[in-house]
Each structure stands twice: as C-alpha cells, then as structure tokens.
C-alpha cells in the first residue's frame, strides 16, 4: 500500500497538467497592462494633438476680433517728442527714432463666458478639447511691438492665447492593473497634467475694420 502511495506521489510531482493555466494566469495581467497602457497613451497623444490644433484656431480668431482684455487701445497714440521738435506725421513707423508712438502696457486676462470674442473662440475649439475644459482654461495676452505699428493707425499688438490647467483622465485604472501585474512602489496616477500650450500671431487691427 505504501508502494502505491509513493508511485502516485511521484506521478503527481511529475505531472504537468494545468501548468499552462498557471502560466496564463501569471502572464495575463502583464499583457493587459501593456495592452491598455498603449491604448491610453495613444488616446493621450491624440488629445494633445487636438488641443494643439485648437490653440492654432483660437489665436487665429483672436487676432482678428476685438480684444478680450480691457484697456487695449484701438489706435496708436502720439507719444512725447523733445521740446522744439516737429510732431511726427501720420503714418510714421513706431520704430522711428525718438519717442513716436505711446507704448501700451501688456494686457493679460482669463477667458470668461459672455465675452463675444471668447464665446466665438470657445464655440470653435470646445469640440477639440476634453470634457473638463472650460473658457477659464484660456488666457489672452496683448503685447506692444513697435515693428507692427505706425502713428495714427490701428493698434496692432502680438496676440497670444494660452491653454492651461488641462489634464488627461485615464479611462482604464492603470494603477490597480499594475498592482495586479506585480508592480510595487509608486503606481501610475489616474490622470496626467498637460503642459501649458500657447500660440502667438500679429493682430490684424483687432476688428477695427468691423468685418473681421
């Protein structure tokens, strides 16, 4: 009887039945982690590209529409000139010698719903951004550049639109999946922040022609 038990024990130890199932159970979590990670980072790359395209469209609209920020002048005002010097003529370039054009301070503000320019931009770009994006993720800047302006003409700043505060939300919880696959230490977060994106174009009279 003892001999039969020994034989059965040896047979059990030598048997490979079920080894494929054990190997499958070990490999499956790792495979799923790699598979879903590729999908999620592919989605993230796609959202980043769409956000970049949205900024290109946003600054193109902002460059030909009335300023979002208050205090942006409509026309180039005459600056101070030395005493006894003839005032500069209309059309004199702001890059001419001496103080010719008044130099407006930079204007920076956050997008707010209800502003006509912001609303037009948001209508054009919101389908290209994630579901958590709002108008307040946009900021606008208007900076004086003497090379773009002449005395008496419409004020032409460089217009910058910046997108901040966005993050990519993972649809699949990679952290728990990595834990099942045997990962230790710091696990992947549920979201990753996008870097700030901005685009700049020369303004095109900021709708002073009233037809964009």
| Residue 10 forms part of a structural domain | no
Record the pTM. Answer: 0.76
Per residue in 78-117, pLDDT (tens digit) is 888 778 778 888 889 999 888 889 999 999 999 999 999 9
Residue 98 structural domain: 19-207
What DSSP letter does each residue of the chain carry, written as one string? -HHHHHHHHHHHHH--TTHHHHHHHHHHHHHHHHHHHHHHHHHHHHHHHHHHHHHHHHHHHHTTS--SSTT--SBPPB----TTPPPPPTT-BTTSSSS-B--PPPEEEE--TT-HHHHHHHHHHGGGS-TT--GGGEEEEEE--GGG-BTTSBP--EEEEEE-S-EEEPSS-HHHHHHHTT--SSPPPSEEEPPPEEEEEE--GGGTTS--
In a domain, 76, yes or no: yes
State the average pLDDT for the chain.
83
Q: Is position 8 within any domain?
A: no
Q: Is residue 193 one of the residues assigned to a domain?
A: yes
Count of domains forming the chain: 1
Q: Per-residue pLDDT tens for 140-195? A: 999 999 999 999 889 999 999 999 988 887 776 666 656 655 656 555 567 778 88
Tell me if 111 is assigned to some domain. Answer: yes
Q: Say if 212 falls within a structural domain.
A: no
């Amino acid at each position: 009887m003892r001999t039969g038990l020994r034989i059965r024990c040896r047979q059990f130890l030598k048997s490979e039945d079920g080894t494929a199932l054990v190997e499958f159970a070990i490999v499956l979590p790792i495979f799923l982690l790699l598979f879903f990670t590729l999908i999620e980072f592919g989605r993230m790359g796609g959202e980043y590209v769409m956000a970049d395209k949205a900024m290109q469209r946003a600054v193109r609209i902002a460059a030909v529409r009335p300023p979002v920020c208050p205090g942006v002048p409509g026309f180039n005002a005459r600056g101070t000139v030395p005493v006894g010097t003839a005032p500069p003529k209309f059309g004199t370039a702001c890059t001419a010698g001496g103080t010719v054009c008044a130099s407006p301070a930079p204007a920076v503000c956050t997008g707010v719903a209800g502003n006509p320019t912001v609303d037009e931009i948001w209508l054009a770009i919101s389908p290209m951004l994630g579901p958590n994006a709002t108008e307040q993720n946009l900021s606008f800047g208007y900076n004086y550049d003497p090379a773009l302006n002449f005395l008496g003409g419409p004020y032409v700043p460089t217009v910058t639109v910046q997108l901040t505060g966005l993050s990519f939300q993972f649809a699949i919880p990679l952290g728990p999946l990595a834990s099942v696959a045997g990962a230790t230490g710091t696990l992947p977060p549920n979201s990753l922040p996008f870097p700030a994106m901005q685009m700049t174009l020369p303004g095109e009279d900021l709708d002073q022609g009233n037809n964009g």
